[in-house]
Structure 1
Amino acid sequence: MAQLSDDCFAFGGDLMPVDAALDALRGRLHAVTEAGTVPLAQSLGRILAEDVVAPFDVPPHANSAVDGYAVFFDDLTPGAETVLPVTARVAAGQTLGRPGVRGEAVRIFTGAPMPAGFDTVLMQEDCRAEGEPGRGGAVTIPSGIKRGSNRREAGEDVTAGAVILASGRRLRPEDIGLAASVGRRELAVRRPLRAAVFSTGDEVREPGAPLPQGCIYDANRFSLMAALAQLGCAVTDLGILPDRRDAIRDALAEAAASHDVLVTSGGVSTGEEDHVKAAVEAQGSLHFWRLAIKPGRPVALGQVRGTAFIGLPGNPVAVMITFLRVARPLLLRLMGAEEKAPPLFPVRAGFAYKKKPGRREYVRAQLARGEDGVLTALKHPRDGAGILSSMVESDGLVELPEDLTRLEPGAVVDFLPFSEVR
């Protein structure tokens, strides 16, 4: 397991813009996961650790895009029907075995290699055929076809020597299919990032357990474990650690020995019952990042014996938003993934909003089409940082930049769908 430099998270002081914080991390973090080879069928969601280069063209030969008849375009009579003898039949996986001859047509099927010389294919639905191919059969071809119609060229999809998948890519189903199309049975990928998640607090209870007065069920831990698993991490649940410094210290030390990152929410402030800060600092370092972001702001980043530590805010909405916009890019960097900001989509604001300058804010919203068909973002009616149901009932986040102070209905805003960060 690769370790991080001691000062990789050493920032702080005044409120930092989100982009500045992420830029600072990019220059200091590196992949901590090793590469290994896995079968293609087991590579979904993994981080590619090599460039995949096409060893040949795909398709490897010109072929027919339809079921029909292959001809020489110059044999067709302009402005009138053409009758040609059908001399042979070529199905997918077969070849004619010779070049085409002027004045003939060949019955051909989708995917079958185009015999040399033939440059155009007529769809069977557009033609009238009589008899059997090679047995005196003929085809009547209408006028109006364009030269090269329904012919797929060699290398139309992939060109030999091209990098078709770049190292650092998180593999999707279509990526795996593309690798298969050039004959790959295995891929070099990075192992999953090993993440340990825990909660602290004597007031926190496991879902389903009795809930004494003054206690709450642990929602944040389960949200974080699900978000990490969805990102492709191998997640270990450390449960709820008691509010004792020695217990937290020992649990973190044990987890740091076998994990790449430790993740929690809340409990890292300087209160008398917040023992996580002292437990981390006793075995490494902890830096508080005061980010110019709402919901969110306090994020703790550090190390426990060389293993990264991420402490997110305690409010359920704040923990989810800071995970998506801060922790997720950090984790992808540790995983060896490519740098790629999630796309933001322009939509119309269906609400008014005021905010402080110098702070980026994220507003939970649903999308709906206005009467003119334009997508409109409708603000969730409840915007407290503790209202987790607002995340469930929203489609994504409206991102309001630092220099904006007042938003009027009808203005164009950037919208981040939750689907783009999962």
Structure 2
Amino acid sequence: MTPRKIRTATALSCAALACSGLLVGCQSDSDTKAPPKVSAKPHGYVEGAEEASEQQSRLVLADAGTGAVRVLDLITEDITSLKDGDGVRGLRTDGRFAYLSGAGGTHVVDTGAWTVDHGDHVHYYRAAVRDVGRIAGPDAAHIHSDQAVTAVSAQEGGTRLLDRGKLEAGTVPRAGELTGAGSGPVVPYREHLLVTGAGAGEDTVEVRDREGVRVIALKEPCAQVGGEAVTRRGVVFGCEDGALLVSEDKGTFEAEKIPYGAAVKDAERAVGFHHRAGSTTLAARSGDDAVWVLDVTDRAWTRVDTGPVVAANTAGEGSPLLALGKDGVLTAYDIDTGKSVARRQLLSEGAESASVEVDSTRAYVNDAAARKVYEIDYNDRLRLARTFPLGFAPTYMVEAGR
């Protein structure tokens, strides 16, 4: 090959690499510059965790009778046993951590599965499951977190704030009391705290900074807060007369009431929202025989007559409403028409303690009496996709990794 041909081949190789996006630097005989340094830690790197291409869902299960606590990995089907709890009375999650209410406080478990949503892209992580420790104080009735702080609100009022970074490092930090907090839950949102049940009438929602200093009191009231949910559109609070949607834009917080549209009895109010993480469609029981569905995007309520129901949830975005009846039958409803589109008998007894967890493709129902968890394909007429037999009674269940 002549010298001219050698130079031509080098140029073509550089052009090809540039087109493919792999070109770092091309050198000729006269170019001796060192290539730029490449970071050893790629974007999204988290020490001690493995980044995955899909959501790493895990179920946290607790037996109210024996105190057994287990984590079921839905990807590998492995079960991790943790230290038994002491009189488990409740189980909650903030997406990564599970919080078990019991005698002497709230026990914290790092499920080792979580999602980081940057808006235009998402990171999924998995790591080892581990016990973190105990938060001393009254039972936690509401727990919400952002990247910096975890707010733990008690049923009788009062909120403790924990350093989220220390929880992620594996220790329970000393909790700080949020002074002057209202009687309702506190939700970290957009680098602030939304404090409910504040003011003389206990119907005000305050926006505070992370130090607890009040920034503004929102004009729209929310009396008798009966549930809350964080969505892509903002934070939703259940109120006496409907729902309150709190959103933020360029540092300005706004509150918008979403009324029921008709008179609703106290017993028929929406209490306790459930939804798929990231969805803007919420489900909440309405008395003993119906379910409310709130479309946050359209600002619209729909009441579906279900009959006696113990749990309900929906994936939103065209998916059915899933309602578990007291008779152990799981029913899928078309939300627009309110009509049943599929039914499946799941539980034979003890349905009162069951819950329905929903992700982007599957639903999960715990059966304490049969010591099982059922995985349901809600897009295929409630097809039973998998059954997970367990050696204990899963009285409580939450899904983490969201």
Instruction: State TM-score, norm by structure 2.
Output: 0.22
Larger Rg: 1
Q: Counting strand residues as a fraction of each chain, which structure ranks higher?
A: 2
Instruction: State TM-score, norm by structure 1.
Output: 0.21
